[in-house]
Structure 1
């Protein structure tokens, strides 16, 4: 089953267990909006890659109400939920597409993604980072909040064990856990050091990891013109 099909399948109850399946939910998503280096009154052009049900898009539009946001996702079911969730905002443009093959052609001040890019193979991640760099305005920023692979087999085991212990302690249902584990079969995670290096290789400046809690990390890079 393709990634799109699995997310279409689970779209209707995807949000119900988010806080249970992401033990560090508040800090993880909160970090994203905290590190956006623009005034909240700015007329920003923003792209949300793998926007899903609009969770991150919603947090950003509330903090940056003058922004124009393009929310793109491969799952039509997810996008329909996002439209319903954010129906009061007319400045959001929704696109159902595979951004790894159909990347928007315009330029953006900010490109964000959350829990999406880890579905791409490593060579596709690198290609995507290259495209993101080209699609950012000068001093534009890319922020990715995602799951990362342990740097060794033992570290990966600890990541997975800790995650299972925490989500069960949070009271996740067997159904929600089973669905999450099924979706995780499509994961193609890469280590955090590799991803930061890939950004640098594509010419990003100020590449930094702002937050990390075991598997969950938030990092960014800036498109600064070299002088």
Structure 2
């Protein structure tokens, strides 16, 4: 069940997002690894545009395409970037293949892809690889699964959620399976660059074009 078309659910998430422990640590690692000289960035499942806005703080001249399907999130991200001609807001449901948007120096995502089925996650990673320029980077700051139910309950408690608040839209998957997919799809320098409980940053780079 996907609740993200509900304004109430989207607004409830936004009201708590800034208070999620350690989230800014993961975002800092994203900022450390997306080059300052990127020209074009895609934010997949942008929400209210939080991560894209952080990237633009030190990269004000980058062109950014931000995708989301929640009407509430689209309203919020449009309001955030309304005066910035370098930001394009696109309504798109990630259950469907990525639209043809051109190529990107970096593609990022923040707590969005875990709402997709596992088959769709892997397909999306392939579509992301196809739209990256050679040498481009993919950073997925993601909600991943715990190895045991007890550790999942510990995570919920650690972020101030009760078990009844567990989002039924979540389709969590372990880190290693997703890293293996990235390797199989052709990414290199693949690793989990940061992790705290069920929050992890998965990164891969598209190899440079062979000069021969």
TM-score (norm 2): 0.90
Deviation larger for 49-58 or 82-91: 82-91
Which 5+ residue runs of structure 2 have no aligned equivalent? Answer: none
- Which residue in 1 is equivalent to 2:206? 223
State the 4+ residue runs in structure 1 displaced beyond 4 angstroms: 177-180
Deviation larger for 65-74 or 81-90 = 81-90
Partner Cα distance (2:91, 2:25) in 1: 29
Structure 1 residue 69 displacement after superposition: 0.4
Deviation at 1:164, TM superposition (A): 3.0
Alignment correspondent of 2:91: 96
Question: What CA deviation, in whole Å up to 9, does each residue of 1:138-184 have, x standing for no partner?
Answer: 1011100001112x3x3x421x232233233xxxxxxxx479925x1
**Counterpart for residue 65 of structure 2:** 70
Q: What is the aligned length? A: 209
Partner of 2:153: 161
Paired position in structure 2 for 1:181: 165
Look up the match of 1:29: 27
Map Cα deviations across residues 91-131 of structure 1 (whole Å, 9 max, x no partner).
Answer: 11001111341413111111100100001111111111111
1:51-66 alignment runs, 5 A limit: 51-66=46-61
| Aligned equivalent of 1:143, options 139, 146, 155 | 139
Q: Secondary structure at the match of 2:145?
A: coil
Q: Is the contact made by 1:10 and 1:179 (CA closer than 8 Å) also made in structure 2? A: no
Listed as ranges, the matches of 1:101-116 within 5 Å are 101-105=96-100, 106-116=102-112
Q: CA deviation at 1:43?
A: 5.0
Once the two structures are TM-superposed, the CA of residue 85 in structure 1 deviates from its matched residue by 2.3
Q: Deviations over 1:16-70 (max 9, x none)?
A: 21133x211220221111111x2x2x25111000001111111011121111000
Deviation at 1:83, TM superposition (A): 1.7
| Structure 1 residues 72 and 11: alpha-carbon distance in aligned structure 2, compared to 1, 3 A threshold | same
RMSD: 2.1
Unaligned runs of 5+ in 1: 169-176
C-alpha distance in structure 2 between counterparts of 1:76 and 1:66, whole Å = 27
Question: In structure 2, what is the equivalent of residue 174 of structure 1?
Answer: none
Higher helix share: 1
